[in-house]
Amino acid sequence: MSRRSQRHRSTVLPFSYRDEGVDFELDSFAVDQGNRKALDLKPGQTEIDLASAVSSSDSSGDPDWETITLNGKLRLPEETVQAVFPQDERERPPAKLYVTIRCHETIYRDRGVISEAPTTPGEYDVTLEVPKSTVRGTVELRPYLVRTESRPRDGSNEYANQKNFRVASGTLYYVVVDGPKDDERAAIDGEQVRFSQNAHLPDGNKLYYLDFRNESRPKLWINSDHPRIAEVLQSRGSVGAEARMRDVILDQVSYGVWVQLLVRAGSAVDVEGEVEHEWQEMVLQTFASNLYKTSDVSEATHRLKDDLSDPQTLPHVLQRIDSELQEYIDPREQLIHLMEEGLQI
């Protein structure tokens, strides 16, 4: 059961459960005893990158903090209470609200209790403290509404009747507290947004879009109009069917992205074999030599430029790029892992 998605779980639980029954919103943060700063999140944004905000001011860039305090609101709607509690409990629901704090890298588990029983519909202030000594990388925050008392069965399975059963949850936030080292910095930025709400992104059911409006720093947009796919891509686990599916989706996306980057970088090579932007140089150094089986990167980049600009050689170089990317990405490995998990997603 634990490997299955929230959507599936909500359909097989023997009692009423609201997967998005609690409204959770983070709005500010503070580092140690510093002033509170607004998060200014975009609609639907669930990943919060605080790595640069908590890095030291010296050249090392290492984290320089002891505690991050996150602030926000939790709202329990009346309709959620009516959906998950029987009539006689709705005036004083035997439930508490808390937010789980989890870090996969350090196997850290904690919770911040927001409201003890009875928890009635309304809005609650949220203050969560994340100690540096307990976490690393990305921290997950998710709210839950949980029963605090058991009740006798009345012959109906409509409502949860056991103490500590979760009956509703809310938005899952990912808070990045450690940035990657310089040599691990991604070649391009990535972000999830709803394409339907952004005029500069393509219409339709596109999964992703590689944005070259800023040629010096391309940006990858993932379409969160597909919430199930977006949810899988945000998963941070390393085992289980969801993690395997995430890796397969990322392989599919990365293949299309690398093709575009490689063709654009190869086309941008000038007569002296130079390119203007750092990412173009990185792409050519990564692939050009292997494409032409030579250790001379300069020779390889000239040949790539020539092949991309000649209609006679273009089909052949695209076939060569396809072969090289299959070797580089190795999608077969992730597909096998997914099949071995039994497609239990």
| pLDDT mean by block of 10 residues, the chain; 345 residues | 34 73 95 90 86 68 81 96 94 95 76 95 96 86 93 79 88 83 58 84 88 89 84 71 82 90 93 87 88 88 93 94 87 76 55
Neighbours of 270 (CB within 10 A): 10
**pLDDT for residue 322:** 94
The residue type found at 94 is P
Residue-level pLDDT at 89: 94
State phi, psi for 208 to the nearest 5 degrees.
-150, 170
pLDDT at 12: 47
What is the distance between the alpha carbons of residues 51 and 68, in angstroms, rounded to a whole number?
11
**Collapsing DSSP states into helix, strand and coil, what is residue 175?**
strand
How far from chain centre, in Å, is Cα 129? Answer: 21
Q: Return all residues near 226 (Cβ < 8 A) that are at least 6 apart.
A: 205, 207
Distance CA 304, CA 299 (A): 9
343: which strand partners?
A: none
Predicted confidence at residue 178, as pLDDT, reads 80
What tokens does 238 get? 């390393």
| Cβ contact 145:97 at 8 Å | yes
For residues 149 and 162, the answer to whether their CB atoms sit within 8 Å is no
Phi, psi of 136 (to 5 degrees): -160, 145
Contacts 24+ apart (CB under 8 A), 242-250: 242/3, 242/5, 242/345, 244/334, 244/337, 244/338, 244/341, 244/345, 245/338, 245/345, 247/334, 247/337, 247/338, 248/331, 248/334, 248/335, 248/338
SS3 state of residue 14: coil
Q: Would you state the pLDDT for residue 305?
A: 93
Percent composition of the chain: helix, strand, coil (DSSP 3-state, to 5): 35, 25, 40
Residue recorded with tokens 């891509």: 233
pTM above 0.75, yes or no: no
* Of the candidates 141, 139, 181, the residue with the CA atom closest to the CA atom of residue 55: 181
Question: Which of 282, 292, 294 is CA-nearest to residue 317?
Answer: 292
